[in-house]
């Protein structure tokens, strides 16, 4: 199954969340990472939409649910989730969104090696819709290759990179 990078605004999001949490559970289990209750709760918050969310927004949402946390608790969970490659941070807006590049297909497979690991990706490419806030993450391979070329010409040794592209998604272009 192939999923659209920018879903319709009125799509049923519960499936996205379910799949993502299911993947997170399996991935952490298999990788020996502890997806604790707190971390899971924070991930649910981040995964609650295809938009990016700020740490203090998460804090407020959880407080509204009766779970009062200190900022540091949320930041620690966000750090963990980012390390695990389950979420990414948008540097330009100090906010976080869930990685959607973990294919549904893989949930039914046994082999751990097929599980996508964004934690190991050194070249991240994000399309950020400035109208609806939705983030689309694209395969960074071709960009990665170009980055290598550019860097090599300067004899620059690349550790990691992040490309944030801002504009308008197809869905918003259609609805205007």
Partner DNA sequence: TGCTATATGGAATAATATAACAAAAGTTGG
Partner DNA sequence: CCAACTTTTGTTATATTATTCCATATAGCA
Rounded distance between C-alpha atoms, residue 172 and residue 155, angstroms = 41
Rounded distance between C-alpha atoms, residue 143 and residue 21, angstroms = 29
- Binding footprint of DNA on the chain (CB under 7 A): 34, 36-39, 54-57, 68-73, 75-77, 80, 94
Q: Strand pairing of 87-90 and 95-98? A: antiparallel
Which two three-digit tokens encode residue 152?
């090599």
Q: Which is nearer to a copy of itself, 24 or 90 (CB)?
A: 90
Which two three-digit tokens encode residue 9?
């605004």
Nearest distance in Å: CB 59, DNA:
9
154 part of the interface to a copy of itself, by CB under 8 A: yes
Nearest distance in Å: CB 173, a copy of itself:
6
Nearest distance in Å: CB 159, a copy of itself:
4
Nearest distance in Å: CB 62, a copy of itself:
26
Here's the x/- map for a copy of itself, 116-145, by CB under 8 A: it reads as: ---------x-x-xx-----x-x---xx--
91 part of the interface to a copy of itself, by CB under 8 A: yes
Alpha-carbon 146 to chain mean position = 23
147 closest CA partner among 120, 116, 125: 125
Which two three-digit tokens encode residue 7?
């879903």
* Rg value, the chain, Cα: 17
63 part of the interface to a copy of itself, by CB under 8 A: no
Burial 138-161 (b: 16+ CB within 10 A, else e): eebeebbeebeeeeeeeeeeeeeb
Pick what 56 binds: DNA, a copy of itself, none; C-beta below 5 to 8 Å, kind-dependent.
DNA
Which residues in this chain contact a copy of itself in the complex, by CB under 8 A? 5-6, 91-92, 125, 127, 129-130, 136, 138, 142-143, 146-147, 149-151, 154-170, 173
């Amino acid at each position: 199954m192939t999923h659209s990078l920018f879903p319709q605004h009125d799509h049923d999001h519960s499936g996205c969340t379910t799949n993502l949490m299911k993947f997170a559970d399996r991935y952490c289990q298999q990788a020996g990472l502890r997806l604790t209750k707190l971390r899971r709760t924070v991930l649910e918050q981040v995964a609650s939409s295809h938009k990016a969310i700020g740490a203090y927004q998460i804090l407020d949402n959880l407080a509204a649910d009766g779970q009062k946390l200190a900022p540091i608790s949320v930041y620690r969970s966000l750090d963990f989730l980012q390390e695990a490659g389950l979420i990414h941070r948008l540097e330009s807006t100090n906010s976080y969104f869930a990685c959607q590049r973990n294919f549904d297909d893989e949930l039914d497979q046994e082999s751990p090696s097929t599980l996508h690991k964004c934690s190991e990706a050194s070249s991240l490419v994000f399309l950020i819709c400035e109208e609806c806030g939705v983030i689309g993450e694209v395969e960074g391979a071709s960009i990665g290759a170009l980055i290598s070329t550019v860097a090599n010409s300067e004899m620059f040794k690349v550790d990691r990179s992040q490309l944030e592209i801002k504009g308008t998604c197809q869905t918003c272009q259609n609805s205007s």
